[in-house]
Structure 1
């Protein structure tokens, strides 16, 4: 299930990121280890994490996923191994929240994109998924919440 559309303006948010390019079939193999590496890198620099982790897909996913695993942080990180400093910029976005397990994200995105089009919004390439509530918080996938976001295209 997804919630109704919301249109909001983000504020700049410092991030720590690990960029990844991987085939669609391999995304599940790299996500957990990449997140663990990022959390370890941020902790090693004593930088505070200020919210849930998320992914930023630089372009709409196809056969290859070109994305960043991200943690919002209080202060900039210093590059180390694959970790780099980043920024979620101020922008207009359209978003919804998906309720359920990760296996339903593909269908949720399809429903979300349909809602965006019916509402007449135009969006830029790429997307964001914020993992607000997941397996680290609840063993019940019905309790999981993933915020789906698309940047609004400027006319």
Structure 2
């Protein structure tokens, strides 16, 4: 299930990130270990995490996923191994929240894109998924919440 569309303006948010480029089939193999690596690298620098982790897909996913595993942070991180400093920029986005397990994200994205088109919005290539409530907070996938976001194009 997804919620109705919301259009919001974001403010810049510092991030720590690990860039990943992998085949669609290997996403599940790299996501967990990449997040563990990123959390450890941020903690090693004593930088505070200020919100839920998210992924930033640089282009809409196809057979290859070109994305960044990200943590919002209070202060800039220094590059360390694969971790780099980054920023979620100020922009106008359209978003929704998907309720359910990760296996339903593909269908949720399809429904979300359909709603965006029906509303007459034009969006940029790429997307954001924010994992607001996931398995680290609840064992029940019905309680999981993933915020789906796409940047709106200026008309």
Q: Identify the residue that residue 11 of structure 1 maps to in structure 2.
A: 11
Q: Which runs of 5+ in 1 are unaligned?
A: none
What are the within-5 Å matches in structure 2 for residues 110-149 of structure 1?
110-149=110-149
- Can you list the C-alpha shifts for 1:53-100, whole angstroms capped at 9, x where unaligned? 000000000010000000000000000000000000000000000000
1:154 CA drift (Å): 1.6
Superposition TM-score, scaled by structure 1 size? 1.00
- The alignment covers a number of residue pairs equal to 155
Distance in 2, Cα, partners of 1:57 & 1:153 = 16
Distance in 2, Cα, partners of 1:78 & 1:24 = 30
What are the within-5 Å matches in structure 2 for residues 1-155 of structure 1?
1-155=1-155
Superposition TM-score, scaled by structure 2 size? 1.00
Distance in 1, Cα, partners of 2:58 & 2:36 = 21
Any idea what SS the aligned residue of 2:3 has? coil
**How much is the aligned-residue C-alpha RMSD, in angstroms?**
0.3
